[in-house]
Structure 1
């Protein structure tokens, strides 16, 4: 059994990770600014800002999952927040899994990342901030930190929740597509991939993509 701390544990991605890890018997700590609407039995819910809570929950953690969104009052603050979480995770000796976006992937090996191309205006700021958090790990990640930056498929989110099937594919920083050129993953299977990586590490200081 591992101790897994999930920042953004009542959000879409974080909530799925909380449920998946708890179902597998791990000790789970959820950190969020609001109380959960549907609390999961056995989960320790810590309510407050990252700055208020991180220092008391990261020590002793085996894995830290950062699943915050650059929206609302977090917009423009995600890089600094994740820099601090990475630093504290390294000091605690915890694996650090940071959830990013599809835009940080490439369409082909060596090609520019999607975020470097034409991103619709309504998504651009969020995509740029998400990419900046990847760059943070790649260029500034503490030397002692065992990190993984995890990108979902293009069709991912509460609007395309899907069902947990127990199957998925993982890749590096190139987007995975199916035979018809689609890129999808359900919330449940994306969470399963993250918890599988916690239980059986396959990537270290690397980018990981998840899709069907």
Structure 2
């Protein structure tokens, strides 16, 4: 059993990671900015105040954890890079520091020509700022040292609520596609992939993506 702290546990993906981890018998702490507003997580989850961009908050919660899952979201571009910097600088000198599992953006994946999907001129403008922010966080992790991290990207487009099948395939920087060229995954199976990676690390200090 692992002790898992999930920052942003009240959100779409964070809540599913909590549910999947509890299902497998892990001890889960949901770190959210407004604990009183989070009433829909499994009763086994401990809900506490927490903020991935606060060094004090990270320092208080890290000693409880084997893994810190970053499932945060918000407006603007800077949030994800700020969280990455806070986590790395806070954990770097901490004995037995937990591993960072950052739930990142699918638009940071690479097209066949090697360019990032978010750099395509036809990429929707309404998503470009947040996609760039997630890319900034990935770049920061890749340039960091002294911590252990994994960055997990969903499919770039067809990513939605659905069935938990427990099945998926993985790749590194390019979307996983089926025989029709589609990259598809449910939120539920994304959570399965995240908890699988916590239990049996395969992508240490690296990014991976998952889809059917």
Q: Same fold judged by TM-score > 0.5?
A: yes
Measured in 2, the distance between the counterparts of 1:211 and 1:97 equals: 18
The residue matched to 2:193 in structure 1 has which SS?
Answer: helix
Which segments of 5 or more consecutive residues in structure 1 lack a partner in the other structure? none
C-alpha displacement of 1:33: 1.7
| Aligned structure 1 segments of 4 or more residues deviating by more than 4 angstroms | none
Closer, same or farther: CA 104–10 of 1 in aligned 2, 3 Å: same
C-alpha displacement of 1:36: 1.2
Aligned to 1:38: 40
Q: 2:109, 2:156 within 8 Å by CA — same for their partners in 1?
A: no
Q: How does 1:24-63 map to 2 (within 5 A)?
A: 24-34=24-34, 35-50=37-52, 51=54, 53-63=57-67
Question: Number of aligned pairs?
Answer: 205
The residue matched to 2:6 in structure 1 has which SS?
Answer: strand
TM-score by length of 1: 0.90
Equivalent of 1:154 in 153, 156, 159: 156
Q: 2:108, 2:134 within 8 Å by CA — same for their partners in 1?
A: yes
Measured in 1, the distance between the counterparts of 2:64 and 2:72 equals: 21
* 1:103 counterpart = 2:107: yes
The residue matched to 2:64 in structure 1 has which SS?
Answer: coil
Q: 2:8, 2:14 within 8 Å by CA — same for their partners in 1?
A: yes
Which segments of 5 or more consecutive residues in structure 2 lack a partner in the other structure? none
* 1:136 counterpart = 2:140: yes
Measured in 1, the distance between the counterparts of 2:201 and 2:51 equals: 29
- After superposition, the C-alpha distances for 1:14-52 in whole angstroms (9 at most, x for unaligned) are 111000011111111111123313131111101254425
TM-score by length of 2: 0.90
Equivalent of 1:67 in 71, 80, 98: 71
Aligned to 2:130: 126
Measured in 2, the distance between the counterparts of 1:94 and 1:39 equals: 23
